[in-house]
Amino acid sequence: MSEIELTGYTPGALGRIVELHGAYYHTHWGLDLYFEAKVATELAAFLSNFNPERDGAWFAKAGDDIVGGIFIHGGDAKGPRLRWFIIDPKYQGQGIGNRLMQAAMTFCDQRGFERVYLTTFAGLNSARHLYEKFGFQLCREEDGSHLTGKSSLVEQVFEYIPMK
């Protein structure tokens, strides 16, 4: 496999991240068009209004192929939000997620954010392990059916508060 490089935005990144989300969450969670369209719409709006002072975007590339990404969306009233974190399943287990998390959290620390949060689904154990490794703590769980229409989905909210 090619060496993995972390980069900023490159053409095709929006479509590739949406594709990774759509395929992964359909295969493993049975999510469908509603979820993929939600990711596409929200990610497109984020990138269209990208402000490098508060927002961050990092992509993992193997050669010319985007194999993962992570984003910090700083425009939320609740504080910056870690979003759209995904690694192509063919590249999982190689430390790419760790490198992407490190880039995102370094960005947050450099900007002095007092709180960062994320939402995810119960059952994504590898991701949860990584979030907790970087200091995120589970704050609450709630019904996630509003995200997908699937009543069995449990949404989790994690929060990171830096040590002062």
As a whole number of angstroms, the distance between CA 142 and CA 157 comes to 8
- pLDDT on residue 2: 62
CB within 8 Å of 95: residues ≥ 6 apart: none
- pLDDT on residue 39: 95
State the alpha helices, DSSP H only, in the chain: 13-29, 33-48, 96-110, 125-133, 145-148
- In a 3-state reduction of DSSP, which class is residue 7? strand
Closest by Cα among 62, 79, 60 to 70? 60
Its pTM stands at 0.91
DSSP structural state of residue 122: T
Is residue 49 a contact partner of residue 75, using CB atoms and an 8 Å limit? Answer: yes
- In a 3-state reduction of DSSP, which class is residue 115? coil
**For 86-96, how does the pLDDT look when each residue is reduced to its tens digit (9 = 90+)?**
999 999 999 99
* Residue 62, domain CATH: 3.40.630.30
Closest by Cα among 96, 79, 76 to 87? 96
- pLDDT on residue 122: 87
What are the start-end ranges of the E strands in 31-110?
A: 56-62, 65-73, 81-87
- Please, what are the averages of pLDDT over each run of 10 residues along the chain (164 residues)? 86 96 91 91 96 95 96 84 96 95 95 91 89 93 65 84 70
**For 136-157, how does the pLDDT look when each residue is reduced to its tens digit (9 = 90+)?**
999 988 766 665 555 577 889 9
Domain holding 107, by residue range, is 4-160
What's the number of domains the chain is made of? 1
- In a 3-state reduction of DSSP, which class is residue 100? helix
**For 96-110, how does the pLDDT look when each residue is reduced to its tens digit (9 = 90+)?**
999 999 999 999 999
DSSP structural state of residue 2: P
- pLDDT on residue 56: 97
